[in-house]
Amino acid sequence: MSAQDFDAIVLGAGAAGLMCAAVAGGRGKRVLLLDHADQVGKKILISGGGRCNFTNVNTAPDRFLSANPHFAKSALARYTPADFIALVERHGIAYHEKTLGQLFCDGSAKQIVAMLLDEAAKAGVEIRTGQSVREVTHADGKFGVRFGDQHLVAAALVIATGGPSIPKMGATGFAYDLARQFGLKVVEPRPALVPLTLGGDDVLFRDLSGIAAPVEACAGKAAFREAALFTHRGLSGPAILQASSYWRHGEPVTIDFLPDAPQGWLIEAKRTRPRTTVRAALGAMLPDRLAETLAERLALPGELAAQTDRKLSDAESRLRRWIFRPNGTEGFAKAEVTVGGISTANLSSQTMMVKSVPNLYAVGEAVDVTGWLGGYNFQWAWASGHAAGQVI
């Protein structure tokens, strides 16, 4: 085997690529990990506000989007959050659980990158960075990679270059171009976990920029109870980011502004506090400026005693399903991940290998599997990388 000849070349030193390389190297394979960035794990470093939300203890297949909702089951079942937590604990990294099963480092995301680099080093993985992959070829059962001015050869090739979200971190659609080169289908990529923009009649809500409230946001058949945040361009916050993955252009997003209020609360308020107003009743449960804006749109001036029960019931229904019609998203520049990617129909769910091209693999965000907000996408990266790393 020449100095430039490897058992496997992994393209992309992000979460999935690092995991895959370390696992394959640990099995005695000679692995080369390549990345066009000048350092590895750049997306890991900025995740979770710099503390890396590295997994979610509530991981389950129904928290992932894919054209094939069953595809992720195998890899997720064979490498679980408990497996990754055990790795974190072996490296002495302190962590804590925030809300909804999200695990974060107490210290810094740098600890997760250092851990993965340590695992790769122990496994004898060679890492090269700071050059572009100029060409990938496949002949005589070998993959050739031109990395800068180096010509590299391997028996197996892993596509772990992610999706186009956060281009300022160097993200591109390279994985899709490479997949198409090998005749693979690509499910149209779109931004996910991304703020939504508002136009038309909804523009006045932009005046509430900076105001947040706990809501239930719905898009398609999905509903999420977390905070929504109004921005100068539209809607954001965890509930909206979650819903955005399910939202399609032209569809509405509905928001329940009072998910904890009992049915008939406004009519009850009229009975117990007839002199109060809709604005005051809302102000007791929501931020002031939001209450004011909603009350203006409901257009029920005067005291509650002056309103019919029917009108109050209608107002309550509207507050439970307030319809917004987003005119778009803030795009890949602000998207945390990508929905879509290399079609799972091309891949083995057991090994992540391309069915039509032996020893070609795709893992992580490059594949059409996208998790919810809160550590799920990292868990998919670990699980899919591990699945491929075990068989290369």
- Output the pLDDT for position 359: 98
- Output the pLDDT for position 63: 98
Residue 64 pairs in a beta bridge with 371
- Across the chain, mean pLDDT equals 97
* Residues contacting residue 53 through CB under 8 Å, at least 6 positions apart: 47, 98, 102, 103, 104, 374, 375, 378
Give 204's pLDDT tier (boundaries 50, 70, 90): confident
pLDDT in tens, 43-97: 999 999 999 999 999 999 999 999 999 999 999 999 999 999 999 999 999 999 9
pLDDT at 3 over 60: no
Least Cα distance to 141 among 160, 154, 158 occurs for 154
Find out whether 119 and 108 touch, Cβ atoms under 8 Å. no
Token pair of 225, please?
A: 């109870």
pLDDT at 1 over 60: no
Residue 157 pairs in a beta bridge with 9, 360
pLDDT in tens, 84-96: 999 999 999 999 9
- Output the pLDDT for position 343: 98
Give strand ranges (E) for 115-149: 126-129, 133-139, 142-147
Distance CA 259, CA 129 (A): 49
pLDDT in tens, 135-173: 999 999 999 999 999 999 999 999 999 999 999 989 999
pTM: 0.96
Distance CA 350, CA 370 (A): 18
Question: H/E element holding 293?
Answer: helix 288-298
- Output the pLDDT for position 4: 86
Token pair of 198, please?
A: 């508002």
Give 311's pLDDT tier (boundaries 50, 70, 90): very high
- Output the pLDDT for position 120: 98
Torsion from C-alpha of 216, 379, 172, 142, nearest 10 degrees: -150
Crossing angle for the helix pair 110-122 and 81-90, to the nearest 10 degrees: 90
Residue 133 pairs in a beta bridge with 147
pLDDT at 180 over 70: yes
In angstroms, the first-to-last Cα distance of the chain is: 17
Distance CA 157, CA 206 (A): 47
Give strand ranges (E) for 60-101: 64-65, 95-97
Find out whether 257 and 330 touch, Cβ atoms under 8 Å. no
